[in-house]
């Protein structure tokens, strides 16, 4: 039996704009996504026989075809027309329902591990084609780094990553439904949008203050309207000298960039008084 492991990094949205809705109902996006060193660990074993077994450290998550990682294995085997016995183990560290692509990155890791097990049968483009059938964030999770994501998530343009930045990530003690947020977005008047070109330049220049001036997440208005706690977390980060604080994805996780170690630590301690999932990262 062959075993392969992969780190499955989460992501944050440095900006998120919705540029239209396709006839099939999918939203077209223009968003800048960045991998972060908060990760799950995915191990895949391939043996003789048939069937898929999925084990997850978080017992609240499904371990059958309701799980995107399980479906990733099914789709990979279908694509290469193989039958094998697949064992998948996932050690969760990314909070569930955080807007950090926890499920998508696990699926991406399964695809990459299986591809290694089957001697790189597919190239990255083909893996991303499978990924897109699973979820809009999966292609980015396969590529990683920092990218402008367009279309419905499948058109990726690489951008140099940020360097040497202190990042605080805080998830409120609840989750939100991405589907519900997008549905509500369709009935919401959006008053502000990001300047995506300026966002990209700010990231290229490693300039968080310029990023603050140009960025926005159009879904934040929707999710914050339902859960004002998101704004409270942002205010706490700014009161502790964050250069930028905003929501990632459809929420509810908030992140903040800080310049000084003492400021980010003090802020983390303050947030931990009421929140379970608070993490200091460096990118």
| pLDDT tens column, 251-281 | 999 999 999 999 999 999 999 999 999 999 9
Q: Residue 86's pLDDT band (boundaries 50, 70, 90)?
A: very high
Whole-angstrom Cα distance, residue 149 to residue 170?
24
Helix segments in the chain, DSSP class H: 68-80, 102-117, 124-134, 138-143, 178-185, 196-204, 208-214, 218-226, 229-239, 261-272
Q: From 55, 61, 57, 60, select the one nearest 93 (Cα to Cα).
A: 57
The chain-wide mean pLDDT, for the chain, equals 96
> Would you call 263 a catalytic residue per the annotation?
no
Specify the pLDDT at position 16.
97
C-beta contacts of 270-273 below 8 A and 24+ residues apart: 270/236, 270/240, 271/168, 271/170, 271/233, 271/236
pLDDT, average across residues 225-243: 97
Q: From 112, 66, 72, 62, select the one nearest 92 (Cα to Cα).
A: 62
Options 137, 243, 263, 277, the catalytic residue:
137
Residues 6 or more apart in contact with residue 232 via CB below 8 angstroms: none
List residues bridging with 35 in a β-sheet: 11
Structural domain boundaries in the chain: 2-158, 166-282
pLDDT at residue 179 tops 90: no
Q: How many residues does this entry show for the chain?
A: 283
Options 11, 92, 143, 224, the catalytic residue:
11
pLDDT at residue 1 tops 80: no
> Would you call 192 a catalytic residue per the annotation?
no
- CATH number assigned to the domain with residue range 166-282, chosen from the 4 options 3.30.70.980, 3.30.2020.30, 3.40.190.10, 3.30.70.890: 3.30.70.890
Whole-angstrom Cα distance, residue 231 to residue 80?
47
166-282 matches 2-158 in CATH topology: no
3-state secondary structure at position 192? coil
Please check whether the domain covering 2-158 is classified as CATH 3.30.230.10.
yes
pLDDT, average across residues 56-61: 97
């Amino acid at each position: 039996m062959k075993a392969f492991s992969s780190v499955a990094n989460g992501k944050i949205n440095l900006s998120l704009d919705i540029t239209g809705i396709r006839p099939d109902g999918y939203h077209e996006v223009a968003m800048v996504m960045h991998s972060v060193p908060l990760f799950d660990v995915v191990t895949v074993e391939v043996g003789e026989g048939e069937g898929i077994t999925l084990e997850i450290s978080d017992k609240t998550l499904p371990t059958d075809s309701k799980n995107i990682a399980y479906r990733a294995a099914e789709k990979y085997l279908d694509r290469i027309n193989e039958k094998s016995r697949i064992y998948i183990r996932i050690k969760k560290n990314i909070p569930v329902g955080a807007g950090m692509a926890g499920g998508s990155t696990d699926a991406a890791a399964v695809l990459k591990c299986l591809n290694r097990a089957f001697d790189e049968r597919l190239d990255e483009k083909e893996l991303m084609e499978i990924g897109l059938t699973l979820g809009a964030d999966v292609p980015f999770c396969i590529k990683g780094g920092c990218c402008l994501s367009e279309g419905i998530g499948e058109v990726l343009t690489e951008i140099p990553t940020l360097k040497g930045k202190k990042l605080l990530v805080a998830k409120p003690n609840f989750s939100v439904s991405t589907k519900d947020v997008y549905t509500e977005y369709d009935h919401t008047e959006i008053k502000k949008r990001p300047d995506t070109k300026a966002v990209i330049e700010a990231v290229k220049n490693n300039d968080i203050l310029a990023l603050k001036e140009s960025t926005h997440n159009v879904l934040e208005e929707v999710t914050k309207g339902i859960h004002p706690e998101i704004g409270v977390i942002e205010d706490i980060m700014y009161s502790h000298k964050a250069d930028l604080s905003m929501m990632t994805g459809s929420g509810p996780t908030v992140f903040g960039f800080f310049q000084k170690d003492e400021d980010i630590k003090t802020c983390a301690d303050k947030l931990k008084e009421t929140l379970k999932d608070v993490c200091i990262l460096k990118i």
